[in-house]
Amino acid sequence: MLSNQVLIEEFSPLFLTVDRLGPFQERMEEFDFTDSRDEPCTFYLMASKNGRGKTTVMEILATMMGMLGKEELPSFGYEPFDQEDGRAQWDVRVTLNEGGRRETVVLSLIAGVIGEEVALKPWGESDLATMGAIRWHRFGFRRNPYRRFEMIGRHDEWVLDFNAFISAAMGARLGAFEDDALALPTLIYFSAYRNIIPLSDAERAIVAPRDWNYRPVHVFDIEGRDWRDSLDNLLVWLKWLDDGRFEKAVEIVNKRVFGETSEKKLKGVRKEPPEAIVENGNSEHGLNRLSSGEKSLVQLWLRIGAHMTRNTILLIDEPEVHLHRNWVYETLFNLTQLAKDHFPSVTIIIATHSERMMKAFGFEFEEENLRKGGYIIETPEEEEKARLVGEEGKRLYKEWEEKNRGCSEEA
């Protein structure tokens, strides 16, 4: 059994293999989260047209992360795994340090309908060596012909110990706001729907937000359906705790959302009714009266700050939604800086169809304390068309080169 002294130094995505899930029906699709040096990317961008599967990939990752710490699974809560014949394998590099003894392994999280082989992507010794790993472990749940879920890895002592370690840590206190000593792995997923809606006065109280403190996965979309899930409740709770986290939250929002020179800023919270207050010049109002872009960014930075650990995987679906072009660049800059400041333990994965976002990402430029990667999701027909266009381009360039070579020789 892993002791309380064990430190998880790394929990980094390597590959995701998807089969018969969402749009990925025609073939098995592999997403490579490593860079040209076979190191896990710390900033990864997925791009495609709408409907190609960007959101599906993020939902799969969030669902599979939610398996950690569980010994039984009545359902995934994700229909493609619960009702359909889909399956996936997510390979992660895990480095543990127990009393100065370090070991690195590849852990494959597996889910869905899968046969006795229990793997979509097997790992051999040479593959492990490339990643600096000494062993391969598999954990997850597969659906049998009776539509029950069987645990994968139930006879693997390392898997059982690691899973029990995660389970025992549930609810551990977070320091929060980008200064946390907790090294447990967590995934924070933001859907493309990040609105803040008005709250009912009748249901408000000073109460801990739902799923407060450590959990392996957090999923956020529209804020305010329930008081315990709202940003207002989060800020009221942080103010009530009075341990410095509220002041950090206000500082981050005012810097990364409103800007230090803006008249608009997050001022604090009021007691009756309990809610956050935004100051805008000489007036005050609630979070729900912010613009759509401001709501999206407030949710993004408050939730990241409240729930991130030293091993965080951050998924953001279409961060550019409702943002002015200047905000797009500013948000990308702030996310890049977050990845750099916490290199290499924070992994950011973005899904977008914005050409502006792709150009600003700058795949071709290397940056210190940042490992970039990306993937363009295309149908087989689109890939074949791109290949033919590429071959035609090569042919035309070769003809042009030969023609100009002949002119040069004559001259």
pLDDT band at 410 (very low <50, low <70, confident <90, very high): very low
Looking at the fold, whether 351 and 274 belong to one and the same domain comes out as no
Comparing C-alpha atoms, which of 355, 372, 370 is closest to residue 320? Answer: 355
Looking at the fold, whether 25 and 164 belong to one and the same domain comes out as yes
Task: List the end-to-end C-alpha distance of the chain, in Å, as a whole number.
Answer: 79
337-382 residue pLDDT tens: 999 999 999 999 999 888 878 888 887 788 999 999 998 876 555 4
Looking at the fold, whether 126 and 58 belong to one and the same domain comes out as yes
Looking at the fold, whether 278 and 330 belong to one and the same domain comes out as no
Q: Would 77 be classed as within a structural domain?
A: yes
- Say how far residue 178 (Cα) sits from the centre of its chain: 16
Comparing C-alpha atoms, which of 128, 120, 238 is closest to residue 177? Answer: 238
Q: Would 301 be classed as within a structural domain?
A: no
Looking at the fold, whether 138 and 38 belong to one and the same domain comes out as yes
| Angle, alpha carbons 219-220-224 (nearest 5°) | 140
For residue 406, with 0-12 CB atoms within 10 Å meaning exposed, 13-18 middle and 19 or more buried, which class applies? Answer: exposed
CA atoms within 13 A on the CB side of 25: 7
Cα–Cα distance list, 216 to 170, 210, 403 (Å):
8, 14, 61
Cα–Cα distance list, 254 to 160, 312, 376 (Å):
44, 23, 34
Looking at the fold, whether 120 and 154 belong to one and the same domain comes out as yes
Looking at the fold, whether 144 and 285 belong to one and the same domain comes out as no
Q: How many structural domains is the chain composed of?
A: 2
Q: Would 161 be classed as within a structural domain?
A: yes
What is the extent of the structural domain holding 15?
A: 7-169+318-385
Looking at the fold, whether 291 and 339 belong to one and the same domain comes out as no
pLDDT at 323: 80
Residue 42, number of CB atoms within 10 A of its CB: 25
Residues linked to residue 88 through DSSP beta bridges, in sequence order = 18, 111
Q: Would 312 be classed as within a structural domain?
A: no
- Say how far residue 36 (Cα) sits from the centre of its chain: 21
Comparing C-alpha atoms, which of 378, 383, 335, 385 is closest to residue 357? Answer: 335
Looking at the fold, whether 273 and 327 belong to one and the same domain comes out as no
Q: Would 397 be classed as within a structural domain?
A: no
Looking at the fold, whether 26 and 117 belong to one and the same domain comes out as yes
pLDDT band at 397 (very low <50, low <70, confident <90, very high): very low
Domain boundary among 262, 295, 328: 295
38-93 residue pLDDT tens: 999 999 999 877 777 899 999 999 999 999 999 999 999 999 999 998 999 999 99
d(CA 289, CA 392): 54
Domain boundary among 239, 262, 295: 295
